[in-house]
């Protein structure tokens, strides 16, 4: 998956280089950007924390990062006026102190309504294409506009209703015009919020400094044993693989199959029977901050999570064959949990609420 995406990026670069080369050969004038873009084009250079793979960053060609767009996205992410009754912002359910989740089993949105799934830690989103537990949004741009029309989240009937409300805020009209060269559109709201979300990263954890940086005492002895187990006997890297601890694929562990409300997960998107009950492998970065765990928020602690894997998940006809009982000793379970605690890092702490909003 990672390899494929990397090749994709290379291919895009190659095409871009080729077309500029052809343009030069043909003596064509360089493409003129509209004036409005030039103003805001101050490039935003992502600071990639140690341990993350810069070449895996996914940024669509039609939405390059710029300083102004990231700043606009930050305003939109925190602004409660972008809900039907001024009570809910993205940040209501994605709070920095909980690794951009909400600390609850399932989220509570507008008028206290509960949703059906737990809010995932929305960081390192720059490294994924498919977003949400079931991957139903193919890009972060698409993801970024979904919650506004979710009846239990921001509560608008449709995007037109939200845009009409936003257009009453002169300050936003001015910013959109400056940055995009046009009045507020839902597409541009998505581009700005996606840009901001791409700047929320997590890396340079003790585990990175030990593993990639060769800092022998960045991890305790117990966490070092945990790392070995994570890759070996406990089989975690079969799915939580690569620098972001996710294969970006979907697996059925059996969460929910011991209740009478099974979430069909990826199957709802693909209608492929192989995807029944399969959810996206989440990143494990900042995992010690983002309890409770799993798509239904059933586990309060990492110890409970490890016990669940140790017993081989919850059996069901669609369970992933990679899930088998592990026979870990109590000490080994403890080592694994210590390793998971070493995945807290940095790269998100700067993403703070704005002090004032456009009027």
Interface residues with ligand HEC (CB under 6 A) are: 77, 88, 90, 92-94, 107, 109, 115, 117, 119-122, 125, 131-133, 143-144, 147-148, 153-154, 193, 197, 234-236, 238-240, 251, 253, 255, 279, 281-282, 284, 287, 290, 293-295, 302, 305-306, 309, 320, 322-323, 336
Asked if 235 and 301 touch (Cβ cutoff 8 Å), the reply is no
Query: Of 66 and 131, which has the nearer Cβ to ligand HEC?
Result: 131
- Residue with Cβ nearer ligand HEC (171 or 232): 232
Bridge partners for 53 per DSSP: none
Decide whether 33 or 111 has the Cβ nearer to ligand HEC. Answer: 111
CA nearest 284: which of 228, 230, 215, 320? Answer: 230
Q: Considering the complex, what minimum distance in angstroms separates the CB of residue 277 from ligand HEC?
A: 8
Minimum distance between the CB of residue 90 and ligand HEC, rounded to whole angstroms? 3
| Minimum CB distance to ligand HEC smaller for 44 or for 293 | 293
Distance, CA of 311 to CA of 321 (rounded, Å): 14
Residue pointed to by tokens 């997960």: 265
Name residues whose C-beta falls within 8 Å of residue 22's C-beta, 6 or more positions apart in sequence: none
Task: Please identify, using beta-carbon distances, which residue of 92 and 204 lies nearer to ligand HEC.
Answer: 92
Q: How far is the CB of 107 from ligand HEC (least distance, A)?
A: 4
**CB 303, min distance to ligand HEC, A:** 10
Identity of the residue, 179 or 200, whose beta carbon is nearer to ligand HEC in the bound complex: 200
Give me the count of residues in the chain.
359
Q: How far is the CB of 70 from ligand HEC (least distance, A)?
A: 13
CB closer to ligand HEC, 51 vs 277: 277
Question: Minimum Å distance from CB 253 to ligand HEC?
Answer: 5
Min separation Cβ 23 and ligand HEC, Å: 36
Contacts of 191 (CB under 8 A, 6+ apart): 63, 69, 141, 144, 180
For ligand HEC, which is the closer residue by CB, 36 or 334?
Answer: 334
> DSSP state, 353?
P
Residue 20 Cβ vs ligand HEC, minimum distance, rounded to whole Å:
33
**Comparing C-alpha atoms, which of 136, 131, 141 is closest to residue 186?**
141
Rounded distance between C-alpha atoms, residue 200 and residue 21, angstroms: 35
Residues 221 and 332: their CA atoms lie apart, in Å, by 12
The Cα 119–Cα 296 span in angstroms is: 9
What's the burial of 352, exposed, middle or buried (CB within 10 Å: 0-12/13-18/19+)? exposed
| Residue closest to 92 by CA, chosen among 59, 122, 62, 71 | 122
DSSP SS3 for 145 = coil
């Amino acid at each position: 998956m990672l390899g494929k995406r990397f090749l994709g990026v290379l291919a895009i670069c190659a095409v871009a280089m080729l077309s500029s080369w052809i343009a030069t050969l043909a003596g064509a004038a360089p493409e003129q950007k509209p004036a409005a873009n030039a103003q805001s084009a101050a490039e935003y250079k992502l600071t990639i924390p140690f341990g993350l793979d810069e070449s895996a960053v996914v940024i669509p060609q039609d939405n390059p990062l710029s300083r102004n767009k990231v700043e606009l996205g930050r305003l939109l992410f925190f602004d409660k006026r972008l809900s039907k009754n001024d009570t809910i912002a993205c940040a209501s359910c994605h709070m920095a102190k909980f690794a951009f989740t909400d600390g609850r089993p399932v989220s509570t949105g507008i008028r206290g309504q509960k949703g059906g799934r737990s809010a995932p830690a929305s960081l390192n989103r720059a490294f994924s294409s498919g977003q949400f537990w079931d991957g139903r949004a193919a890009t972060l741009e698409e993801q970024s506009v979904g919650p506004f029309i979710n009846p239990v989240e921001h509560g608008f009937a449709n995007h037109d209703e939200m845009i009409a409300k936003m257009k009453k805020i002169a300050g936003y009209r001015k910013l959109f015009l400056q940055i995009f060269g046009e009045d507020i559109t839902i597409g541009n709201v998505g581009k700005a919020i996606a840009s901001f979300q791409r700047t929320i990263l997590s890396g340079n954890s003790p585990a990175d400094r030990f593993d990639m940086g060769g800092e022998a005492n960045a991890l305790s002895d117990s966490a070092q044993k945990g790392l070995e187990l994570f890759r070996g006997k406990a089989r975690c890297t079969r799915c939580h693989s690569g620098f972001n601890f996710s294969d970006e694929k979907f697996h059925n562990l059996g969460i929910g199959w011991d209740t009478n409300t099974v979430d069909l997960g990826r199957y709802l998107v693909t209608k492929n029977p192989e995807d029944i009950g399969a959810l996206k492998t989440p990143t494990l970065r900042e995992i010690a901050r983002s309890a409770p765990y799993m798509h239904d928020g059933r586990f309060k602690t990492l110890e409970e999570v490890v016990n669940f894997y140790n017993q081989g998940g919850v059996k069901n006809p669609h369970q992933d064959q990679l899930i088998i009982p592990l026979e870990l000793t109590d000490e080994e379970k403890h080592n694994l949990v210590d390793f998971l605690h070493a995945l807290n890092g940095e790269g998100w702490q700067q993403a703070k609420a704005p002090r004032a909003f456009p009027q």
